[in-house]
C-alpha cells in the first residue's frame, strides 16, 4: 500500500508526505481519496464517487440557504452567441482568452474521416459564466418594480480554457452555482451582494470547517464588469490563498448593456441594479488543501457521504454470519441517531477485499468515524472505533450502547476539531508584524518556499492603494487577496511604498 519510506519516517498512507513534496502530495490525496482524476480531455476532470458525494451534500446545504433567502432555481442555455458578449466590453475582455467556441453543428464523412460540417452563422461560446444570457432574459421578464427583486440561481457546468490545469482547483470545465439577481435600488442590490457573501462565509466555516477571511477585492482584481467584488479567502497548508467564493455588485453596467429597465414606483423607466455570486467545485480543492494529512482526506462530518463506516472483520466462515448480523443491526441502531438535523449516514462495507485494505481505503477517503467489528466485539457487545481526525489517539473500545449514545457528540467534536485545527493553522501563518518593504521582501523573497513545513503564509499590512506599487509583487508571484471587512481605521504606512495608508490588505501567493 505504501511506497518505500525513509527509515525513520512514520508510515503514512500517502507518499510523498506534505513535507516531502506538497504539490505531488496534493495530487496523490485527490487520487487516493477517490475525489477526482484528470480525463483524456485536456484540462477536464472526472469527479469520482467520493468527490461527487461530497459535492452533492455541499449543493444540498447551499441550495437550502439560497431558497431560505428567497431565490429560485432556473436553467439557462450552455451556449451563448458571440454577439451577446460584445455588448459588455470589460466582461468579454475578461473571458475572451479562455472561451471554448462551437463553430459547427454536425460531423460528416470526408474520405473516410469524420470532419466538422454545418458551419454556424454565428459562433457559440460555451458559457464561462451566464451574466449575458440571464441578463438578456431579465430584460424580457422585468417590466415594473413589481417584478423586483428577481432572485435566480442556477446549478451548472461552465468552461474556462485553462493552460495549466490542476485537479479540482483549476480545470477547463467545472461545476458551480451562479446566482443572478436584479433590484430596484443600489441599497437593495448591495444588501443582496453582502448577504450572499455572508451565506458563503457561514457555509464555509460551519459546514466545510474552512476558516475564511472575508473582504473586498481591490479594483484590479474585480470580476470583469463588476463595480464591487467581495470574496472569501481560505488558506492552504502550504500557506497560499484560495478564493473560495465571490459575490459581485454589478451596478447598472449589465442592465445598461442589455437594456434591463423597469418602471419605478413613480412611473419612470430606470435601469435595474444587478448582482451575481458563485461557488464551485474548486471548494473541493480547498477542502483537500485544508483538511488532509499524510494519510488522506479528513472529511468534515457535515459533508461526509458516510459519517460512520462499519468494517466487518471476518477471519473464517464460522464468524461471517454473526459478524455481518451484528454490523447490520449496529447500522440500523446508529441511523436512529441524528446529526445536524438528519439521520447519521452509516455504511457497512461488505466488499470482497481484506478488512485492512478497507480500513486504509476509508482513512484515505476521510470517513469521520471508522469502526471495526470482529467476533470478539460481537461477543463482548463492543465496537472498535477510530476517529479519522485523531488517528494518533489510536482505537477506542466502547460498548455498543455507549457508541450509539455518543455518536452525535463525536461527529460534533470532529466537525469542531477540524475547524479549530484549520483556524489555528491560519492564525499561525497570518503575519501581522511586517511593516516595511525590507521585511516584506525578506518574507516573500525566499524563492518557492511554498512548503508545508516552514512555508510562507498571509501578510496583513497597510497598503496605500497606489497601483504602481503592485509591480513589486510580480517578482514574488504575490497578489492582494482582499481588503478585509474588519479594519482598525487607523492610518499607518504602506508596506510597499512607505506612504501614508489607512486600509489593511491581505498579501499572499494564491492558487
Binding site for a copy of itself (CB under 8 A): 39-41, 44-49, 52-53, 55-56, 72-82, 84-86, 92, 96-109, 114-116, 118, 123-126, 133, 136-137, 146, 152, 156-157, 159, 161, 173, 175, 351-353
CB of 107 to a copy of itself, least distance (A): 4
| Spatial distance between the Cα atoms of 157 and 162, rounded to a whole number of angstroms | 15
* 368 φ, ψ (degrees, to nearest 5): -60, -40
Residue with smaller CB distance to a copy of itself, 120 or 472: 120
Rounded (5°) CA angle 84-89-94: 95
Q: Exposure of 402 by Cβ count < 10 A (0-12 exposed, 13-18 middle, 19+ buried)?
A: middle
Residue with smaller CB distance to a copy of itself, 305 or 368: 305
Alpha helices in 315-354 (DSSP H): 317-334
Look-up of cell digits 436512529: 336
Residue with smaller CB distance to a copy of itself, 150 or 391: 150
| Spatial distance between the Cα atoms of 50 and 31, rounded to a whole number of angstroms | 10
CB of 2 to a copy of itself, least distance (A): 20
CB of 176 to a copy of itself, least distance (A): 12
Q: Exposure of 288 by Cβ count < 10 A (0-12 exposed, 13-18 middle, 19+ buried)?
A: buried
Q: Which three cell numbers stand for residue 262?
A: 423597469
Torsion, CA 357, CA 359, CA 360, CA 365, rounded to 10: 120
CB atoms within 10 A of CB 463: 23
CB of 317 to a copy of itself, least distance (A): 18
* DSSP letter assigned to residue 14: S
Residue with smaller CB distance to a copy of itself, 62 or 434: 62
CB of 353 to a copy of itself, least distance (A): 7
Residue with smaller CB distance to a copy of itself, 156 or 250: 156
Q: Cα 493 vs. chain centroid, distance in angstroms?
A: 34
| Spatial distance between the Cα atoms of 380 and 475, rounded to a whole number of angstroms | 64
- Separation in Å, CA 458 to CA 241, 265, 455, 498: 8, 48, 11, 20
Alpha helices in 204-271 (DSSP H): 253-258
CB of 45 to a copy of itself, least distance (A): 7
Q: Which of 148, 95, 103 is nearest to 121 (CA)?
A: 103
Residue with smaller CB distance to a copy of itself, 282 or 382: 282
Residue with smaller CB distance to a copy of itself, 173 or 372: 173
* DSSP letter assigned to residue 10: P
CB of 143 to a copy of itself, least distance (A): 12
CB of 91 closer than 8 Å to CB of 131: yes
| Spatial distance between the Cα atoms of 92 and 241, rounded to a whole number of angstroms | 26
Q: Which three cell numbers stand for residue 435?
A: 511593516
CB atoms within 10 A of CB 424: 11
CB of 364 to a copy of itself, least distance (A): 16
Residue with smaller CB distance to a copy of itself, 114 or 499: 114
CB of 46 to a copy of itself, least distance (A): 5
Look-up of cell digits 494529512: 293
- Separation in Å, CA 420 to CA 12, 151, 208, 344, 367: 23, 35, 12, 23, 18
CB of 491 to a copy of itself, least distance (A): 43
CB of 56 to a copy of itself, least distance (A): 7
Residue with smaller CB distance to a copy of itself, 152 or 414: 152
Residue with smaller CB distance to a copy of itself, 126 or 434: 126
Torsion, CA 361, CA 362, CA 364, CA 368, rounded to 10: -170
Residue with smaller CB distance to a copy of itself, 106 or 164: 106
Residue with smaller CB distance to a copy of itself, 265 or 446: 265
| Spatial distance between the Cα atoms of 144 and 142, rounded to a whole number of angstroms | 6
CB of 86 to a copy of itself, least distance (A): 6
Q: Which three cell numbers stand for residue 210?
A: 474552512
Residue with smaller CB distance to a copy of itself, 53 or 224: 53
Look-up of cell digits 457559440: 124
CB of 386 to a copy of itself, least distance (A): 24
Amino acid at each position: 500500500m505504501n511506497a518505500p519510506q525513509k527509515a525513520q519516517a512514520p508510515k503514512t498512507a500517502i507518499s510523498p508526505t506534505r513535507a516531502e513534496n506538497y504539490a505531488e502530495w496534493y495530487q496523490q490525496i485527490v487520487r487516493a481519496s477517490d475525489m477526482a482524476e484528470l480525463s483524456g480531455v485536456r484540462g477536464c476532470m472526472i469527479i469520482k464517487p467520493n468527490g461527487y458525494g461530497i459535492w452533492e451534500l455541499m449543493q444540498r446545504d447551499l441550495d437550502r440557504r439560497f431558497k431560505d433567502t428567497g431565490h429560485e432555481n432556473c436553467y439557462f442555455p450552455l451556449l451563448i452567441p458571440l454577439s451577446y458578449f460584445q455588448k459588455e466590453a470589460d466582461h468579454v475582455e475578461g473571458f475572451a482568452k479562455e472561451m471554448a467556441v462551437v463553430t459547427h453543428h454536425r460531423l460528416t464523412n470526408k474520405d473516410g474521416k469524420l470532419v466538422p460540417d454545418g458551419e454556424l452563422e454565428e459562433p457559440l461560446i460555451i458559457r464561462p459564466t451566464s451574466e449575458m444570457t440571464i441578463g438578456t432574459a431579465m430584460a424580457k421578464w422585468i417590466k415594473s418594480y413589481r417584478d423586483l427583486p428577481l432572485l435566480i440561481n442556477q446549478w451548472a457546468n461552465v468552461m474556462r480554457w485553462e493552460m495549466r490545469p490542476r485537479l479540482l482547483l483549476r480545470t477547463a470545465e467545472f461545476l458551480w452555482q451562479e446566482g443572478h439577481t436584479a433590484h430596484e435600488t443600489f441599497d437593495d442590490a448591495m444588501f443582496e451582494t453582502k448577504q450572499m457573501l455572508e451565506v458563503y462565509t457561514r457555509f464555509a466555516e460551519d459546514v466545510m470547517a474552512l476558516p475564511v477571511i472575508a473582504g473586498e477585492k481591490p479594483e484590479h482584481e474585480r470580476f470583469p464588469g463588476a463595480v464591487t467584488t467581495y470574496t472569501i479567502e481560505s488558506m492552504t497548508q502550504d500557506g497560499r490563498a484560495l478564493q473560495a467564493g465571490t459575490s459581485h455588485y454589478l451596478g447598472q453596467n449589465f442592465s445598461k448593456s442589455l437594456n434591463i429597465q423597469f418602471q419605478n414606483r413613480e412611473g419612470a423607466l430606470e435601469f435595474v441594479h444587478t448582482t451575481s455570486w458563485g461557488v464551485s467545485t474548486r471548494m473541493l480543492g480547498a477542502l483537500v488543501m485544508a483538511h488532509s494529512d499524510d494519510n488522506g482526506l479528513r472529511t468534515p462530518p457535515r459533508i461526509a457521504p458516510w459519517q460512520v463506516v462499519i468494517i466487518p472483520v471476518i477471519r473464517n466462515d464460522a464468524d461471517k454470519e454473526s459478524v455481518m448480523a451484528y454490523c447490520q443491526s449496529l447500522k440500523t441502531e446508529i441511523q436512529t441517531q441524528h446529526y445536524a438535523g438528519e439521520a447519521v449516514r452509516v455504511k457497512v462495507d461488505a466488499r470482497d477485499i481484506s478488512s485492512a485494505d478497507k480500513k486504509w481505503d476509508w482513512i484515505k477517503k476521510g470517513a469521520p468515524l471508522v469502526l471495526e467489528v470482529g467476533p470478539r466485539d460481537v461477543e463482548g457487545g463492543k465496537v472498535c472505533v477510530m476517529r479519522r481526525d485523531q488517528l494518533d489517539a489510536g482505537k477506542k473500545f466502547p460498548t455498543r450502547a455507549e457508541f450509539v449514545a455518543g455518536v452525535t457528540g463525536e461527529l460534533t467534536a470532529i466537525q469542531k476539531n477540524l475547524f479549530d485545527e484549520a483556524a489555528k493553522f491560519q492564525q499561525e501563518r497570518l503575519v501581522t508584524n511586517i511593516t516595511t518593504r525590507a521585511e516584506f521582501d525578506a518574507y516573500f523573497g525566499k524563492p518557492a518556499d511554498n512548503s508545508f513545513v516552514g512555508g510562507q503564509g498571509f501578510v496583513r499590512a497597510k497598503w496605500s492603494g497606489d497601483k504602481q506599487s503592485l509591480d513589486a509583487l510580480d517578482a514574488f508571484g504575490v497578489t492582494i487577496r482582499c481588503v478585509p471587512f474588519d479594519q482598525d481605521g487607523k492610518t499607518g504606512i504602506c508596506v510597499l511604498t512607505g506612504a501614508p495608508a489607512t486600509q489593511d490588505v491581505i498579501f499572499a501567493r494564491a492558487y
